[in-house]
C-alpha cells in the first residue's frame, strides 16, 4: 500500500506516481484519508436467469447498476443452456440480453449441462471465438443441469486441453433428490426442509469427488459458492495434496447464516433459500472468512440470483420448488469489508485480492482488471473506511423486494466508483448509464493457473517408466513389434502457448474510450513515502513492496493500490 496519485485519460490509467504533470482542466478528486482500490469483480452472478419456473428479478441493467452502487465494476455472469440446447446459441442470447443493458463491464462463464461431441466442439468454439475461458458443471439439480461423474471426467479433460477453467457447483444431486422425497413424505414442506435436504456432508462429499476427478486429468478446478466449513476443509486438504484447486465463497455465506430458514415468516425464511444452503452452524461465516484470510479460499462472489416474494411463493407448499437464490451483488464489498477488515480478520490488501485481483488473475483479465497500474482499465473505487451505511431493501438499488442483510451496519462505503474512466458513483450519488459496460473477453490458458499445471504435468511424465524390452519380458520377440515408450498422458500443455496476460483485443463494441472525462486523484504523503510506478494488489508479491502505513481499518491518507 502506498500513497500515490493516479491520472486517467480515455478510460485507461495513464500515470501513477507523485507530482504528476497533468493537463489543465482535469477534474481532481481528493482521496485523502480513503483507500483507492481496483473496482470489485464479482465472478458469480445470475441476472435475468430463467430458473425454476421463473426469471430472476435483477436484469442486466438493474443488477449492474446495483453492482456499481456497491463498488463492483465488473461481473461475470453464467450462460446456462438447457439440456440439449446449443451452448453457442445460449451464449449469443445472453450477449443479446446483456450488451444493451450493462452499466459495468462483464464477462461470461458457460455451463455445461449435457455432454456430447457437439458440446465438446462448441466449447472449443466458445474459447476460440467468443472470449469464454470457463465452464461451470453442476453436480446438483438432478434431471435439469446435473452431470454424472464420467461426464465430469470428460468435461474436465476437455477443459484442460482447451486451457479453460472448470468450475463446479458441488453438491450430491442424487442424495438431495432422495432426502427431498423423504422430507416431503413426512410433511416437511417449509423452507427449513431445503437445508435439511442438503446437509454439509452432501456438499463436502461433492467437493472431494470433484477434486479427485479433476486431478485424474490434471485439470485446474474452481469450486463456486463454498458454503460450509467441511467443504472448505476439503479444499484445504486438496490444496495440501498439491491439487490445483481454487475456492470461491459468497457474500451471503459471510454475512448471514441458515438460522433464517426457521424464521416465523414464510417469506423471510424463503428469502434465504439458496444452494448449497446457508448453514445452521453459526460459526460458519467467521470460519469462511478465516479460510479467505489464509488463502484456503481465494475469491468472493455474490451468486446474485434474486426472486421477489411472489416468485418465492412458487414453493409455498413444497420447499423444493422455492426458486433458489439471494441478493449480494450490491452489498458484497461492504459486507466483506465489515466482516473481514473492520473485524480485524484480514488487512485491506487481502480484501482487494479476494474481491478483485484474484478473480482477474484466474479468469485471465489481469492486469487489465484487478489492479491500478499504467495501462489498466480505469476501474477504480475510492473507499471510505470511516463512513457507515445500513443495508436495507428500502434503499438498495436491486429489483428485488427483500435483502438478506437487512439492518446490517457496514463500515466502508464506496464514495466514488469509476468505470472505464467514467465516474458512476460521484460522492455517493449513483450515475449509472445503461449500455456503458463492455463485454470483456477472457482468454484461455491463464498463466496464473496454467503455468503450474505445466510443471505438474512435466513431473508426472518424468515419473513414467520407459521400457523398451516389453516383448522380451512377456516372451515375445523384440522384432515382432517395435517398442516405443508410452507417455502416461496426452501431450502436455506448454506455458509458451499461453497468451500474454494483457488483453489487446478490443471489446465487442470496438472502443475503449467511452468518456471524455479525465481526472486525477491527489493525496498528500505526510511521511514522504511514495512509489514512482504502478503498485499492484498482489498478495503473492513479496510483502516488502507493499507498505502498510496504517493498521487495517485505520486512518489512511490517499492510500493506494
Ligand atoms: O441458489 C443458487 N445458488 N442459485 C443460483 C444457481 C446456482 O446454483 O448457482
Ligand atoms: Zn450453483
Ligand atoms: Zn450461482
- Read off the pLDDT of residues 415-447 as tens digits, 9 standing for 90 and up: 999 999 999 999 999 999 999 999 999 999 999
Residue ID of nearest Cα to ligand 1 atom 8? 275
Alpha-carbon radius of gyration of the chain: 24
524 or 112, which is more confident? 112
Cβ 275 under 6 angstroms from ligand 1: yes
C-alpha distances (whole Å) from 131 to each of 336, 360, 395, 412, 463 are 29, 14, 36, 34, 35
pTM, to two decimals: 0.86
Give the per-residue pLDDT at 31: 97
Cell 450493462 maps to which residue?
102
Q: How many Å lie between the centroid of ligand 3 and the Cα of residue 76?
A: 11
Of the ligands numbered here, which is closest to the C-alpha atom of 75?
Answer: 3
Nearest to 254 by CA among 283, 295, 234: 283
Cβ 46 under 6 angstroms from ligand 1: yes
Name the residue of 81, 275, 400 to mutate for ligand 1: max ligand atoms within 8 A of Cβ: 275
- Grid cell locating 395: 434503499
Give the per-residue pLDDT at 531: 29
Cβ 274 under 6 angstroms from ligand 1: yes
pLDDT in tens, 140-177: 999 999 999 999 999 999 999 999 999 999 999 999 99
Cβ 248 under 6 angstroms from ligand 1: no
pLDDT in tens, 219-261: 999 999 999 999 999 999 999 999 999 999 999 999 999 999 9
pLDDT in tens, 60-101: 999 999 999 999 999 999 999 999 999 999 999 999 999 999
Give the per-residue pLDDT at 453: 82
**pLDDT of residue 125 exceeding 70:** yes
pLDDT in tens, 537-555: 333 333 222 222 222 222 2
Sign, CA dihedral 222-224-225-231, equals negative
Of the ligands numbered here, which is closest to the C-alpha atom of 167?
Answer: 2
pLDDT in tens, 167-196: 999 999 999 999 999 999 999 999 999 999
**pLDDT of residue 477 exceeding 80:** no
What's the distance, Cα to Cα, between the start and end of the chain in Å?
6
Q: 10 Å Cβ neighbour count for 221?
A: 27
Cβ 44 under 6 angstroms from ligand 1: no
- What residues does the ion ligand 3 have nearby, CB within 5 Å? 303
Q: How many Å lie between the centroid of ligand 3 and the Cα of residue 178?
A: 22
Give the per-residue pLDDT at 1: 82
Q: How many Å lie between the centroid of ligand 1 and the Cα of residue 109?
A: 14
Amino acid at each position: 500500500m502506498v500513497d500515490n496519485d493516479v491520472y486517467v485519460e480515455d478510460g485507461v490509467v495513464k500515470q501513477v506516481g507523485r507530482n504528476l504533470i497533468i493537463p489543465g482542466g482535469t477534474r481532481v478528486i481528493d482521496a485523502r484519508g480513503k483507500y483507492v482500490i481496483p473496482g470489485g469483480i464479482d465472478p458469480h452472478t445470475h441476472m435475468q436467469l430463467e430458473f425454476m419456473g421463473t426469471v430472476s428479478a435483477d436484469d442486466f441493467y438493474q443488477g449492474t447498476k446495483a453492482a456499481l452502487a456497491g463498488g463492483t465494476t465488473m461481473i461475470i455472469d453464467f450462460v446456462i443452456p438447457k439440456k440439449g440446447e446449443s451452448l453457442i446459441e445460449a451464449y449469443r442470447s445472453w450477449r443479446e440480453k446483456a450488451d444493451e443493458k450493462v452499466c459495468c463491464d462483464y464477462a461470461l462463464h458457460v455451463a455445461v449441462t449435457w455432454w456430447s461431441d457437439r458440446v465438446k466442439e462448441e466449447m472449443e468454439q466458445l474459447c476460440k471465438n467468443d472470449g469464454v475461458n470457463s465452464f461451470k458443471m453442476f453436480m446438483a439439480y438432478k434431471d435439469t443441469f446435473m452431470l454424472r461423474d464420467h461426464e465430469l471426467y470428460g468435461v474436465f479433460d476437455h477443459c484442460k486441453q482447451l486451457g479453460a477453467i472448470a468450475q463446479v457447483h458441488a453438491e450430491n444431486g442424487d442424495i438431495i433428490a432422495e432426502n427431498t422425497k423423504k422430507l416431503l413424505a413426512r410433511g416437511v414442506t417449509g423452507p427449513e426442509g431445503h437445508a435439511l435436504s442438503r446437509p454439509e456432508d452432501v456438499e463436502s462429499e461433492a467437493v472431494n469427488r470433484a477434486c479427485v476427478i479433476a486431478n485424474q486429468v490434471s485439470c485446474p478446478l474452481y469450486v463456486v459458492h463454498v458454503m460450509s466449513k467441511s467443504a472448505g476443509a476439503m479444499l484445504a486438504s486438496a490444496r495440501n495434496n498439491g491439487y490445483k484447486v481454487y475456492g470461491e465463497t459468497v457474500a451471503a455465506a459471510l454475512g448471514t447464516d441458515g438460522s433464517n430458514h426457521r424464521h416465523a415468516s414464510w417469506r423471510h425464511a424463503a428469502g434465504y433459500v439458496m444452494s448449497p444452503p446457508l448453514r445452521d452452524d453459526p460459526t460458519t461465516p467467521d470460519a469462511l472468512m478465516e479460510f479467505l484470510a489464509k488463502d484456503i479460499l481465494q475469491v468472493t462472489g455474490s451468486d446474485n440470483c434474486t426472486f421477489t416474494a411472489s416468485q418465492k411463493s412458487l414453493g409455498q407448499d413444497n420447499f423444493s420448488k422455492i426458486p433458489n437464490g439471494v441478493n449480494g451483488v450490491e452489498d458484497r464489498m461492504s459486507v466483506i469489508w465489515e466482516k473481514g477488515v473492520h473485524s480485524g480478520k484480514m488487512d485491506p490488501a487481502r480484501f482487494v485480492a479476494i474481491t478483485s485481483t484474484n478473480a482477474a488473475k484466474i479468469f485471465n483479465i489481469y492486469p487489465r482488471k484487478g489492479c491500478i497500474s499504467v495501462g489498466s482499465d480505469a476501474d477504480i473505487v475510492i473507499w471510505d473506511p470511516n463512513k457507515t451505511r445500513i443495508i436495507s431493501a428500502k434503499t438498495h438499488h436491486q429489483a428485488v423486494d427483500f435483502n438478506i442483510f437487512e439492518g446490517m451496519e457496514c463500515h466502508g462505503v464506496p464514495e466514488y466508483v469509476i468505470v472505464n474512466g467514467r465516474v458512476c458513483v460521484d460522492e455517493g450519488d449513483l450515475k449509472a448509464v445503461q449500455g456503458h459496460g463492455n463485454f470483456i473477453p477472457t482468454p484461455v490458458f491463464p498463466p496464473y493457473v496454467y503455468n503450474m499445471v505445466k510443471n505438474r504435468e512435466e513431473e508426472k511424465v518424468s515419473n513414467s517408466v520407459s521400457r523398451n524390452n516389453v516383448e522380451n519380458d512377456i516372451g515375445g520377440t523384440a522384432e515382432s513389434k517395435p517398442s516405443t515408450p508410452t507417455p502416461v498422458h496426452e501431450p502436455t500443455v506448454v506455458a509458451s502457448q499461453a497468451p500474454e496476460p494483457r488483453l489487446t483485443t478490443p471489446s465487442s463494441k470496438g472502443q475503449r474510450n467511452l468518456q471524455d472525462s479525465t481526472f486525477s486523484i491527489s493525496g498528500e504523503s505526510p511521511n514522504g513515502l511514495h512509489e514512482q510506478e504502478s503498485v499492484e494488489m498482489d498478495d503473492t508479491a513479496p510483502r516488502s513492496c507493499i507498505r502498510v502505513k496504517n493498521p487495517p481499518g485505520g486512518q489512511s491518507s490517499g492510500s493506494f493500490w
